[in-house]
Amino acid sequence: MRAILALILSVFISTPAMAEGFDPITERDSFVSLIEGRDLTRFGITLTVRPDGQITGRAFGRDVTGAWRWSKGYFCRDLYWGARDLGPNCQAVKVQGSTLRFISDQGSGQFADLYLR
């Protein structure tokens, strides 16, 4: 159970942020144009981040739900994995090809790469 929770938390937190080759996304419209009609995936995880501010999906056999908003150049989300509240976090977003990199704590924390499908 703890291993699964750690993987879920890594959806938006992974390792210290290195961003070579990634371009920053600072505008909501740019972010929406990338995610609209597509899923974000990573091993065991499939998420839909909708333009209306909702997050839905599955991770390791449990539902993922939440909400997001764009604030001062950051993707700010509240996320639940099943009944477990993973809490809020505002994240910098960068893109390289079909990879979106979410960097926690307004770009000063750890990152997770999710793939557009």
Which pTM value belongs to this model?
0.83
CATH 3.30.450 fits 23-116, yes or no: no
Residue with tokens 């990338």: 34
DSSP labels, 71-112: ETTEEEEEEEETTEEEEEEEEEEEEETTEEEEEHHHHTSEEE
Residue type at 69?
A: R
Query: What are the domain boundaries of the chain?
Result: 23-116
pLDDT for 34-78, tens place per residue?
A: 999 999 999 999 999 999 999 999 999 999 999 999 999 999 999
Assign residue 21 a region: left if phi > 0, alpha if psi is -120 to 50, beta otherwise?
A: left
pLDDT for 79-106, tens place per residue?
A: 999 999 999 999 999 999 999 999 999 9
Q: What is the Cα Rg of the chain in Å?
A: 13
